[in-house]
Amino acid sequence: MPEKNNNDWIKYEETIEQFIQVIAKNMNLYGVTPSIGRLYGVLYFSEEPMTLDDMREALEMSKTSMSTGVRALSDMKMVEPSFKKGVRKDLYKSEEDWYKSFTSLFGSRWRHHTETNIDEADETIHELESLKEKTEDEKLIEKIDHDIERLTYAQNYYRWLMKFIHVVESGEIFKYVPKVDQKETQDS
């Protein structure tokens, strides 16, 4: 195997590092910090599962940061524990099925926010109905009725969104938008 300081190896490492930066930047869309995104990128391109010490060395970050990052990625189903005979330290590897990671992450994040929005709309409608019963101001009653219609529309949207989230989480989405397999990309 050629020496690692060979110009080709340096170019290779720079190219991979550039893509890891893209991963880190794009993971911000999912509420993931760039440092955790970089951690995922390093694990993704690692040939072998890594320990926290390996990660710390690769990213020049504290072991505590690595532990926090691994826990966050694990919660998002983007990293999983791995085992190797004779290795006592915890090993981790990336989840390489990005479709699985996306559906899990998308589902949990969107479900949480959508459920919160449904609850807030319910509470707002309840408060407006209570206010409507107490007031005699016709203009205010008219405004409340109009706003309850808008909130009902919002609730219907959120119910639809919950159905969409279910389609994503269940994997049913792939019936409508199939995964692209390795062969397809090589043929195009």
The Cα 133–Cα 131 span in angstroms is: 5
Helix (H), strand (E) at residue 79: strand 79-82
Write down the pLDDT at residue 106: 81
Q: What is the per-residue pLDDT across 78-109, written as a single tens digit (0 to 9) for each? A: 899 998 888 889 999 998 888 888 888 888 88
pLDDT band at 187 (very low <50, low <70, confident <90, very high): low
**Is the pLDDT reported for residue 30 higher than 80?**
no
User: What is the DSSP code (8-state) at residue 51?
Assistant: -
Dihedral, 167, 98, 94, 55 alpha carbons, nearest 10: -120
pLDDT band at 182 (very low <50, low <70, confident <90, very high): low
Does this model's pTM top 0.75?
no
Q: How many CA atoms lie within 13 A of 73 on its CB side?
A: 30
pLDDT (average), residues 126-154: 97
Q: What is the per-residue pLDDT across 34-74, written as a single tens digit (0 to 9) for each? A: 999 999 999 999 999 999 999 999 999 888 888 999 999 99
Pick the CATH number of 7-96 from 2.60.120.380, 1.10.1750.10, 3.40.50.410, 1.10.10.10: 1.10.10.10
**Is the pLDDT reported for residue 188 higher than 60?**
no
Write down the pLDDT at residue 71: 92
pLDDT (average), residues 8-35: 89
**Is the pLDDT reported for residue 186 higher than 60?**
no
Write down the pLDDT at residue 185: 55
Question: What percentage of the chain has pLDDT greater than the value 70?
Answer: 94
Q: Where are the domains of the chain?
A: 7-96, 99-182
